[in-house]
Amino acid sequence: MIIKSTVALHRWFLVALMGVLSACSSAPEKPQPSPLPSVSGTLKVQKVWSATVGPISTPLMVSVHGQQVAIASTSGQLVLMDTQTGRDVWRVSVGSSIQAGVGGDGQRFAMVTQNNELVVVEAGKIVWRQVLSALSYTPPVVAGARVFVLTGDRAVTAFDGATGQKLWTQQRPNDPLVLRQAGLLMPLGDSLLVGWGGRLASLNPLTGVPRWETLVGSTRGTNEVERLVDVVAGASRLGNSVCVRSFQTSVVCLDGLNGRAVWSRSAQGHQGVDGDDQLLWGVESDGKVLAWQRQTGTPVWTLESLRFRGLSMPLAWSRALVLGDQDGWVHFLSKQDGQTLARAATDGTAIVGKPVWTGQTWVVVTRTGGVFGFRPE
């Protein structure tokens, strides 16, 4: 983003500092986590392969396509991997460090570099690049033969997937504060959902014209950090039901067709949520894991035994809730009460992004670039 004043620069610094403080697991004032809870053993998990992609310190989204996943390292490596074997389908360097990635549709894959370039890869080769108006912290969306990008100046831009031609740009008035982590950008039927500050909006993907906007997060204080209410990446969608999180403010479930809010709950987390047809789960910033009824928002259970372990965004699998932590552990919890069913180790560094399930394999990625495949026995 272009900073136009000393005041704006100061605000930007505060946002960056806030991001560092919230992500840092070694701050001396941070409480020590409790010992790991015991494991019931009712779910058996085995590691079936491991691979490497290079260190990851920027917003990561593992793009899943059948039994393949695409992963982008911060240094500029983009890898399409077979999750049955952990082997590369192809690997390409984009020639510069990656700021946000990766989004894809199985054919084309897109990421944003730290030089404000949108880079699109197909069949292991770079097919086009476009310079963006500002830096992006949100992995692009590839859908409907188009590539959509949300940049830090609150602009959503659509590009032709084959040629890179810019098709349209839609921008909200720029707020002075921008959260330096992935925001919400996702397709829903014939719409594109985007988080604009504390609002969730539905755009026509052909024209960029807004169809509706819904307030999901309101400022809760007077200082600059407390005024951050961005809708963060990681929504739970089931049919037309969409549940999202507003940074450190609330979790909201709404109708994705018209934007009507069904329920809202105060919640102090900074990562997205996941759910099934019965429950919705989220992790608070202190590591408490919360479960709500999806239809009503009624609290179901709270788990405190993993507090202060730097938990990842949760994955709702058929039999378990799957989360990683800052020490590289992967936790498999009961969806009904949070009891630990199984636990698996990686390389001892933090799990980044959200675990994914593809084919018959869970895939997790660590801060140092380790990629691990696990399967239920």
Residues 96-118 have a mean pLDDT of 95
**The pLDDT of residue 196 is above 50:** yes
pLDDT score of 94: 94
Residues 75-86 have a mean pLDDT of 96
Contacts 24+ apart (CB under 8 A), 332-336: 332/43, 332/45, 333/289, 333/303, 334/40, 335/276, 335/279, 335/281, 335/291, 336/301
How confident is residue 6, by pLDDT bands cut at 50, 70 and 90?
A: very low
Map out the domains of the chain as residue ranges: 42-59+270-377
Is 42-59+270-377 assigned to CATH 2.130.10.10? yes
pLDDT score of 180: 85
**367, 352 in Cβ contact below 8 A?**
yes
Residues 293-311 have a mean pLDDT of 97
CA distance 280 to 211: 26
18 sits in which H/E element: helix 6-23
**126, 119 in Cβ contact below 8 A?**
yes
Candidate from 33-42, 278-287, 295-304 with smallest mean pLDDT: 33-42
Strand partners, 265: 251
Candidate from 48-57, 215-224, 230-239, 362-371 with smallest mean pLDDT: 215-224
**The pLDDT of residue 283 is above 60:** yes
pLDDT score of 7: 34
**The pLDDT of residue 357 is above 70:** yes
**The pLDDT of residue 71 is above 80:** yes
Question: In terms of pLDDT, which residue wins out, 175 or 239?
Answer: 239
Phi first, then psi, for residue 103 (nearest 5°) are -115, 150
pLDDT score of 197: 86
**The pLDDT of residue 329 is above 50:** yes
pLDDT in tens, 132-142: 989 999 999 99
Cα distances (Å, whole numbers) of residue 13 to 36, 135, 304: 36, 15, 32
pLDDT score of 17: 36
pLDDT score of 29: 72
**The pLDDT of residue 10 is above 50:** no
How confident is residue 222, by pLDDT bands cut at 50, 70 and 90?
A: low
**The pLDDT of residue 11 is above 60:** no
Neighbour tally for 66: CB within 10 Å: 10
Mean pLDDT for the chain overall:
90
pLDDT score of 4: 35
Residues 65-69 have a mean pLDDT of 94
Task: Say which residues have a Cβ less than 8 Å from residue 175's Cβ, sequence separation at least 6.
Answer: 154, 197
pLDDT score of 223: 66
CA distance 79 to 88: 7
Candidate from 66-80, 92-106, 207-221, 343-357 with smallest mean pLDDT: 207-221
Residues 181-210 have a mean pLDDT of 95
Strand partners, 328: none
**53, 376 in Cβ contact below 8 A?**
no
How confident is residue 175, by pLDDT bands cut at 50, 70 and 90?
A: low
Residue type, 351: I
How confident is residue 224, by pLDDT bands cut at 50, 70 and 90?
A: low
Global pTM reads 0.90
pLDDT score of 61: 87
Question: In terms of pLDDT, which residue wins out, 223 or 16?
Answer: 223
CA distance 8 to 4: 7
pLDDT score of 139: 96
% of the chain residues with pLDDT over 90:
81
pLDDT score of 34: 82
Asked if residue 102 has a cis previous peptide bond (ω within 30° of 0), the answer is: yes
CA distance 192 to 184: 10
